[in-house]
Amino acid sequence: MWREDIRASVAHSRMLGAQGIIDAKDVAAIEAGLEEIAKEIEENQFEWKTEYEDVHMNIEARLIEKVGEAGKRLHTARSRNDQVATDIRLWTRQALGRVIEQSDRLIAVICARAAEEVDTLMPGYTHLQRAQPIRLALHLLAWCEMLERDRGRYHDTIVRLNECPLGAAALAGTSFPIDREATARELGFRQPTRNSIDAVSDRDFLLESLAALAIQAVHLSRMAEELVLWSTQEFGFVEMADRFATGSSIMPQKKNPDMAELIRGKAGRVIGDLVNLLVVMKGLPLAYNRDMQEDKFPIFDAFDTVEQSLAIMRGMVATLVFRRERMRKALDEGFIEATEIADWLTRRGVPFRESHQIVGKIVRFAMAQGKKLSDLSLDEFKEFSPLFDASIYEIMLPERVVELKQSLGGTAKEQVLALLSDFHSRLLDRGIQPEEVWRAERKQE
């Protein structure tokens, strides 16, 4: 957090100068010294010393070496308690901005792929059993909905964390005539924190961040699990690019979806980071306690892990080969037109629960005969209900079934295109062109 520490120190010194607490000469010396220190760190010329305990004391000690008495005045009207609380808020705010951007880029790639697959039909699943025909695009856009909620949680967290603790000092404020609004404005915060005790002891924003990261890690894990399943010989719906898969050490025929499996596995790590900090915080009395030093490890790890997972998932989705014929063929098995037959009867006056029972009997009959529903004769259908006529065969076609689902958010083409258009507009409003992001990912292949 050295960048954040230097930035906050510059803002603090300027405020001290503006309030007449230190003179302008000291402010200039402090700023120049901190600028030199930043350059040393960037060029890997800075010597970090363990005797100074942390980043804050290392930078302050080096500042005093450089500018003498002026450096000693920097810590006037602040404590390491409000200093670190400010630094970690600055760092987390920026990190949340990065995962929002990364989430948008993954949404962009998925939308670009979905636009190519609007007419690709596949089975939709419940309980991992074939359920009803859907468009592949609708399934992909369901991933986008998950990611959209993720970015919303990150944004909400930024809104709540965007208050500046600087000036709360150790826990009780300070007797110096500081201007907390000025430092808050300079550091881009909405306002100063309102309670000095809460300011130095609050880590809710880290817990919220970790919770949002854990939820997104779970979403990525679910997506990864589907890609693992779809890449099996049993499904055969997708083939992954070679850079996201590996071979077996002894079985030459295998292509293992290792990157998807690793994303799936990393979710446990991020969930562990959340639990880690929850346990650290659960028994702490107000105000600051040294236990809070343990907040850095889980927050840094969780952000790193999720950012890496987002980047890998983006590359995997961008380079997937969808096996459309295999998806379409899967619609011929599993009696997935059964619900539509029940709806057909219901539209002709049969109560749905009764329609459900009738079609259940038809399915059992077809299974016993070793037939698909579309193979049954009209006379066989009429044995179960006299309402059946030749039009029943038309609604058993998957292309017909998906078009009947015209309800908002359904799998009819009009509804899927509306979803795509909405996501496309959102991305454009954020300055992102889905096709450009997709092309950029494919160029790495």
Catalytic residues: 127, 248
Instruction: Show Cβ contacts of residue 401 under 8 Å, excluding neighbours closer than 6 positions.
Output: 132, 133, 337, 340, 395
C-alpha to C-alpha distance for 437 and 445, rounded to whole angstroms: 14
Are residues 26 and 12 in contact, defined by beta-carbon separation less than 8 angstroms?
no
Q: Is the peptide bond before 440 cis (omega within 30 degrees of 0)?
A: no
Neighbours of 433 (CB within 10 A): 14
Report residue 432 as tokens.
């992102």
Instruction: Return the residue matching tokens 């800075």.
Output: 46
- Neighbouring residues of 298: CB distance < 8 A, sequence distance ≥ 6: 210, 272, 273, 274, 276, 277
Q: For residue 34, how far is the Cα from the chain centroid?
A: 35
Burial class (CB in 10 A: 0-12, 13-18, 19+), 262: middle
Q: Which two tokens stand for residue 110?
A: 């998925």
Backbone angles phi, psi at 21, to 5 degrees: -80, -35
**C-alpha span between 283 and 286 (Å, rounded):** 10
Helix axes of 80-116 and 434-443: crossing angle, nearest 10 degrees: 90
